[in-house]
Chains A and B, each alone.
Chain A
Amino acid sequence: MFLEIQNLKKSYFNGNIETKVLKDLNMSLDKGEIGVILGPSGSGKSTLMNIIGGIDRADGGSVKIDGADITKFNDSHLTNYRRDELGFIFQFYNLVPNLTVGENIEVVANISKSPISIDEVLKAVGILDKKHRFPRELSGGEQQRVSIARAIVKNPKLLLCDEVTGALDYTTSKEILKLIQQINAKYQTTILIITHNTAISAIANRVYWLREGQIVQEKINSEILPAERIEW
């Protein structure tokens, strides 16, 4: 397994009050697969994503990525992991507003060991012509494409997508999902999508249902639908 999570625990404290967000969570994903985690608000999706992404720490359990348990990593190791192996795509894009599209991608390309050419990723996400525009001059869908291009420019082993279609309209959302499938096919990137939209599960190899910090259902899709065929 490329991604293997065992007995993952995480709690938050508000004063003396403990809120258990993840309770002995287990899940896995093979290399090159697309995984979808479904769950309502407050189910622990984002916390899980943050721990896998190495920007938050677990209280217990293990998260193995390609055999290495990142919960044992110190801060410097975690930074190297994020730097070299991970791509992040966010719901609200999180682009640097006063850098152009090309420069936003360059920000990540600069710190990568072997980045893909910026023009190539821009071409791959279909916005090469927008390279010199600023984020505020783009539509939401275009900004999300920039965010995807920024995530894949370092050719990550694992791509984490946090509600990537959450801020987009129906048509644009489908285009973005199609793009994610294309990236998965082209670069063999393992992709984990977190969403509350059940329809998106159709494009995944594996689907996990998360509720109150636990995986309540797991499904391996025998047939994977292309993004343009899914409906919601």
Chain B
Amino acid sequence: MSVQTWTFIIVGLTFALYIGIAIWARAGSTSEFYVAGGGVPPIANGMATAADWMSAASFISMAGLISFMGYDGGVFLMGWTGGYVLLALLLAPYLRKFGKFTVPDFIGDRYYSNVARTVAVICAIIVSFTYVAGQMRGVGVVFSRFLEVDINIGVYIGMAIVFFYAVLGGMKGITYTQVAQYCVLIFAYMVPAFFISMAMTGHVMPQIGLIGDVTDGSGMALLDKLDQLHRDLGFAEYTNGSKKMIDVFAITFALMVGTAGLPHVIVRFFTVPRVKDARVSAGWALLFIAILYTTAPAIAAFARTNLINTVSEKEYAAMPEWFMKWEETGLIKFDDKNKDGLIQYVANKDANELTIDRDIMVLANPEIANLPAWVIALVAAGGLAAALSTAAGLLLVISTAISRDLIKMQIKPDISEKGELMWARIGAVFAVIVAGYFGIHPPGFVAATVALAFGLAAASFFPAIVLGIFDKRMNREGAVAGMVVGISLMLFYMIKYKLQGFGGGTPDDWWFGISPEGFGTVAMIVNMVVSFTVSRATAPPPQEVQDIVEDIRIPRGAGDAHVH
């Protein structure tokens, strides 16, 4: 059977599975729609969180990104996992005890203010939209590459599927589809990794293969071999970085804190029955994420070595079939500058003849390693699972922000349960359509800002929530001032150095040598300092709010997530 047939079969089967789950897990109440009734077992929630978290970018692009960055790629590996430690230790159990549905719920109640709630809603919507547009695009890209349909048709198909289970099932439907999607995506990621690790190093586990020796008879360690190849071609050594240490630190920290502040991640911890489940659920989530995140750097190193060995100084005419195939898509470009018929792949830009899109590293890996057709089809299904699960989680945050944080809490407090549920579904429809629109007409700044969504979350939510739990004296004035100053500063820096607004600037002008991607760290510190200073100069929070803080610090009596 051809790759095409296999892809239709496997993708079709997984889609049927997702829809079947959605029908089985329909939401009947707002509590089920927002937080799956607060009854998700911790391991299932861990899987759902992992699928929610790992997007098309994690699945398709990350290994390739690391492959080209070498040591510096560690910022993503540490940054996107270390945040779960912060979540488990500083946020998840307390927010679960607080027992409502959304991040703006917490901010609004803890800071006894609809201004604070509104600031939080706006931050949540900005962060989620920048994210979800990229996801829908990812769905389109996977469809177009594997099923050879137009990217836009791919986006429509993705919209229809997400529409079906997000609108019908809310959080309950999303959670159980995400569990299935995690299984699909991790299987799809690991199978080629096992094969490639075995072929390159003789170890089945890629994590062991990464620190093993190559099987080409040289007896060299894989990473030493790779360093040597890099040196020979004039690239920086793979295991040594080229970024400044302060920037590596700032980016890693911003990604960690941003992860812990992302609304679609936090909300997952409202769905488990008890406080202790919220804690352990963060552990399961990170374990499931770590399986992929410790495999990615191995794939990166294998793919890089394999690639250099396959192409460097080899005859263009003798390239394997996959090379030609991906050349057609424009993801591999070869320009024989010195007309010698050989491929020169070197660091020197003038002499280099080959440009490679980083996404190929995962997508073409099975072909490069000569794996059977069904494995290639599986990778397509995995990429779709990753993109769809993340998109659905984000859409839910947006729909909840509309139905609950705006309509129920601000515009029409006396709305009935049924009316609110209807608004939640309308919100989901609206969010799917807007996300689809951005998927089809991606604004140029999306690619540049997705990474910065973390900076925005780090600069706004994280300090407000952590201080709200750990500093009883923190008040409305402090938190609002901190969030406004933090997110404005982050937006300013982002616009100045990323989009060249406010006079623009080059990397030489960066403050403290910190890139916009890492600036969330600075903005977060500024937020905390401002919050602290302002809160100490203004009146303490009222007694009933101090009682809330006392109450969320002890686990007993969490009960169901409740409507107030």
B partners with A = no
